[in-house]
Amino acid sequence: MKRWRQPSVLPGFGLTFGFTTLFLSGIVLLPLAALVLETASMSWREFLHVITDPRAIGSYRLSFGASLLAASINAVFGFIIAWTLVRYEFPGRKMIDALIDMPFALPTAVSGIALTSVFASNGWIGRYLEPLGIKVAYTWIGVTVALTLIGMPFVVRSVQPALQEVQRDLEDAAETLGAGRFYIFRRIILPTVLPALLTGFTLAFARAVGEYGSVIFISGNLPMRTEITPLLIVIRLEEFDYRGAAALGFVMLVISFVMLLTINLLQAWGRRRYIAAGH
Amino acid sequence: MSITLDQVTKRYQGVPVVNDVSIDIGDGEFFVLLGPSGSGKSTLLRAVAGLTGVDHGRISLHGRDVTHVPAQKRDVGLVFQNYALFRHMTIADNIEFALRVRRMRAHARRERRRELLRLVALEGMDERLPAQLSGGQQQRVAVARALAHKPEVLLLDEPFGALDAKIREELRRTIRQVQRELGITTVLVTHDQEEAFALADRIGVMNFGRLLEVGRPDELYTRPATRFVATFLGAANLLLGHQTKIGVRFGTAEADGAGADAQAHREHEVVAVIRPEEIELAPEKRALACNYLAAGTVEEVAFTGALERLRIRLADGVSDAQLSRGPNGDGDARLEVTRTQHEQRAFGVTPGQAVAIGVRRIHVLPTPLSSFTAYAANAAQATYLSQQPLLVRLAARMHTRVSVRVTDENATVTGAAVVAAAPDSGERIEWLMKKGAEEVLVLPHDADNPQRVLIHWADEAARAATLAVAASLLRHVAAEGVYVGILPTSTPDGQRPHSMRALLDARSEAQAVHGLEMRTELHFGNLIESLAGRLAEMPDQILILGVSQISGLAARFEALLRAQARAPLLFVYGSRDPRA
């Protein structure tokens, strides 16, 4: 214990560390352990059969594919929103700033129903997309739209403080040294904000993978086509197939963990590289 | 000329932060822009760099008009107070930034980087990150980075602000050395006069967005033209005195040889600057080696190493003369004195001791509006007038005071007189001017800080005096000056070119004699109507009106005084021939 202890303004290392351990164990690790235990009661063949079921494979593809796509869309447009909010003064800025958090506060089912009514073939937007041959509701596009909505605040809120820290002087300096806008963005602003942007991307992705409420309304839940893994798990539960549900949950857990770990490692490696090479 | 600014003006929300600034900076010159924070000096520097646009005026670099050229293409190097180094890049990459932008080849970049690092004495630091260097080293890197692309001019915005005293001095020397070695035209912005003295070939002092004075450091220190420069560059005691043929008289003290002006046509009030080191102390008047000023009492003695700082209370009678008072303007006046070790050994003093005060050198400021005196029919009204917020603010900024006097037949008038705006102000102005007032300010009780100062002289003979007063006033308010030329509609066509020339002459005279930049406009029509019309355009203006005929003044301007009651009017008397 002595070795870990760092001097800190906050007293009570023992107490806080104890609480951290208890909290993580009770709320996070214990349920996960139960999940693994439940899965472990299956035989290998049984397990493989459940998780390689074509319907399950289809759901992984949709869940992780749509989540990655949604997080990427958010990374781009969330950055632009954060930029607008930080850099420009305009009437209603505070209002828009507050609206960003709405997807956090809204019950996800409400978002799902709202999106469905807008994008359905007779909805406000859907009716104009339909003639163009674009179907949003009840397709993978709808799923992506729902996941984008859910993940947006994560990117905006991660990037905002980082952007605020980019000193105006740095841009001014680069400008007097002859750099154009795009060059300044690529060489000065982006490197400074990238860690925060990656964090936002990770959070948005993680949230999208676990999303359930908003998606089930807009996806239409066609097996193999628009069925996400969390929904498949619920279906298994409703069939009282607890072990099947646990197996699918276990797969989600492993894939999510691997992807998040990869992003984190990438980020750490990137940070080191930036510092070492200076680019 | 390397850098030429011509009537550059920048406004924020209507308020000019850089106000009609014109400067010519020569090739290889080290020019320092000095001023308190908020004086517009940094904005001006950013305008030269192209980071801030200007609302009016022109900027040229080496004869090329760059007013509308973006910063990327101006070819300047800019150094910031907080270094502004790119923290995610190595020193090498920071310095090579401008070269990379210009797609210079790698080996040529490396070559140039080596050269620059040697110049700022940071060889071998190439692969470090900015965070691994000390503040002074980081600023050296910033200087090297700003010089990499061989800019035409180097701009430094308070480059030593974030450094401690020792490093500051060292870096100052480096920058001076680099500047000499490269012969690059340099503009440095600072609020530190010591820094300005140490570095500058020439200093330009700014306040309220205006460039007040430009000159060599020693010139500005020994012969400032304005109260602001006198007090901002080093410590100064400001005293109100009376200029006579044989010298300057303070209070009831006898006039003495110091500051004699044989040209003084008659006794008039002036502002005198006495530097603390120009004051001599002695046990009694006869022991002084220089001109006697007054008797006084030592109040405070502070030892500060090489110099001793004293505060001395002047004896009654002379203490009235003193202007540099406490922050509220009403604190007890003290004379500041500094003495060398040598002087201390010759005559040591302790608090409470009575001394004779002598002055080695007095500098008389060539500025009008030496002090204000509020005139009214009774003491209460005069006191009320003297507390008018605009008047109080003006007096504080001018380091001068507002006296109160009841109008009575025997009064002699000195300095600028102030009267309340009233239907009969015309007669009052006439009366005060006959009594000897050179300037009379007619002040409405709700007048506020002016945003525009209109300048006009009704009689050609008053031109010089009006310009001098306008220059003095404009140095103390953040307003733009506009000379209003008025041509009667009946002017024959043949006369018009002549009038245009007179207008242009007025502008160049203002610039040449008073360093005053102003706009000029020409109106056709009746004098009173034109002026009243201009004043009605917007609130918060002042009209400075020069006259040389006192008799009949009330009748002549009655219509103007009646037409508007909002703007202060400053009547200035001036004539070519000295008034007897």
- ipTM score above 0.85: no
Q: Across the interface, do A178 and B51 touch by the CB < 8 Å criterion? A: no
Fold of the domain spanning B3-228: Rossmann fold (3.40.50)
Whether chain B has a CB inside 8 Å of the CB on A165: the answer is no
Secondary structure of B504-534 in HEC code, one letter for each residue:
HHHHHHHHHHHCCCCEEEEEECCHHHHHHHH
- The answer to whether position A82 is within a domain reads yes
Contact B170, B135 (CB under 8 A): no
**Nearest of B31, B398, B43 to residue B215 by alpha carbon:** B31
**Nearest of A195, A109, A98, A194 to residue A150 by alpha carbon:** A109
The C-alpha torsion from B195 through B197 and B200 to B202, rounded to 10°, is 130
Backbone angles phi, psi at A104, to 5 degrees: -65, -40
Give the Cα separation of B343 and B290 in Å (integer): 14
Domain that holds residue A247: 45-277
Residues of B whose CB is below 8 A from A173: 78, 80, 84, 86, 142, 145
Domain ranges across chain B: 3-228, 235-365, 372-573
**Min CA distance, B127 vs chain A (Å)?**
9
Give the Cα separation of A153 and A147 in Å (integer): 11
- The answer to whether position A230 is within a domain reads yes
**Min CA distance, B97 vs chain A (Å)?**
7
- The answer to whether position A175 is within a domain reads yes
Give domain B372-573's CATH number out of 3.40.50.300, 1.10.287.70, 3.40.50.720, 3.40.50.12370.
3.40.50.12370
Contact B294, B318 (CB under 8 A): yes
**Nearest of B477, B478, B481 to residue B396 by alpha carbon:** B477
Cβ neighbour number for residue A248 with a 10 Å cutoff = 25
Q: Across the interface, do B93 and A175 touch by the CB < 8 Å criterion? A: no
- Reading the block at residue A97, the tokens are 């700033």
Give the Cα separation of A112 and A118 in Å (integer): 10
Please report where in the chains the tokens 């008073």 appear, as a residue.
B514
Taking each helix axis from N to C end, the angle separating A54-87 and A140-165, rounded to the nearest 10 degrees, works out to: 40
Contact B443, B385 (CB under 8 A): yes
Please name the amino acid found at residue B442.
V
Q: Across the interface, do A169 and B77 touch by the CB < 8 Å criterion? A: no
The C-alpha torsion from B233 through B234 and B240 to B242, rounded to 10°, is -80
Whether chain B has a CB inside 8 Å of the CB on A184: the answer is no
Please name the amino acid found at residue A140.
W
Please name the amino acid found at residue A218.
I
Residues 6 or more apart whose Cβ sits within 8 Å of residue A264: A202
Q: Across the interface, do B101 and A178 touch by the CB < 8 Å criterion? A: yes
- The answer to whether position A27 is within a domain reads no
**Min CA distance, B72 vs chain A (Å)?**
4
Give the Cα separation of A210 and A252 in Å (integer): 9
Give the Cα separation of B499 and A178 in Å (integer): 48
Q: Which element (helix H / strand E) includes B171?
A: helix B165-182
Give the Cα separation of B79 and B95 in Å (integer): 12
Residue B477's Cβ-side half-sphere holds a number of Cα atoms within 13 Å equal to 25
Q: Across the interface, do A176 and B148 touch by the CB < 8 Å criterion? A: no
- The answer to whether position A202 is within a domain reads yes
Please report, in tens digits, the pLDDT of each residue of chain B (580 residues total). Answer: 789 999 899 998 878 899 889 999 999 999 999 999 889 999 999 999 999 999 989 999 998 999 999 999 999 999 998 889 998 899 999 999 999 999 999 999 999 999 999 999 898 889 999 989 998 899 999 999 999 999 989 999 999 887 888 888 889 999 999 999 999 999 999 999 999 999 999 999 999 899 999 999 999 999 998 888 998 998 888 888 888 777 787 766 655 555 666 555 567 788 889 999 999 999 988 888 888 888 889 988 998 888 899 999 887 666 666 665 444 444 456 888 999 999 988 898 989 899 999 888 889 888 888 888 888 888 888 888 888 999 998 888 888 888 888 877 666 777 788 988 887 788 888 888 888 888 999 998 888 888 899 999 888 888 888 998 998 888 888 888 899 888 887 777 777 788 788 888 888 888 888 877 788 888 888 888 888 888 888 888 999 999 988 888 888 888 888 876 778 999 998 886 544 3
Please report where in the chains the tokens 């009403």 appear, as a residue.
B330
Q: Which CATH architecture has domain B235-365?
A: Beta Barrel (2.40)
**Looking at residue A219, which CATH number applies to its domain?**
1.10.3720.10
To the question of pTM greater than 0.95 for the whole model, the response is no
Best residue of A172, A176, A186 to probe chain B, by most B CBs closer than 10 Å:
A176
Residue B493 DSSP one-character state: G
Q: Which element (helix H / strand E) includes B106?
A: helix B106-119
Q: Across the interface, do A172 and B78 touch by the CB < 8 Å criterion? A: yes
Contact A196, A159 (CB under 8 A): yes
Secondary structure of chain A in HEC code, one letter for each residue:
CCCCCCCCCCCCHHHHHHHHHHHHHHHHHHHHHHHHHHHHCCCHHHHHHHHCCHHHHHHHHHHHHHHHHHHHHHHHHHHHHHHHHHHCCCCCHHHHHHHCCHHHHCCHHHHHHHHHHHHCCCCCCHHHHHHHCCCCCCCHHHHHHHHHHHHHHHHHHHHHHHHHHCCHHHHHHHHHCCCCHHHHHHHHHHHHHHHHHHHHHHHHHHHHHHCCHHHHHHHCCCCCCCCCHHHHHHHHHHCCCHHHHHHHHHHHHHHHHHHHHHHHHHHHHHHHHHHHHCC
Whether chain B has a CB inside 8 Å of the CB on A178: the answer is yes
How many independent structural domains does chain A possess?
Answer: 1
- The answer to whether position A206 is within a domain reads yes
**Nearest of B298, B290, B300 to residue B315 by alpha carbon:** B298
Decide whether B3-228 matches B235-365 in CATH topology: no
Contact B25, B203 (CB under 8 A): no
- The answer to whether position A37 is within a domain reads no
**Nearest of A250, A263, A158 to residue A202 by alpha carbon:** A263
Please name the amino acid found at residue B19.
N
Rg (CA), chain B: 27
B570, β-bridge pairs: B441, B544
- The answer to whether position A36 is within a domain reads no
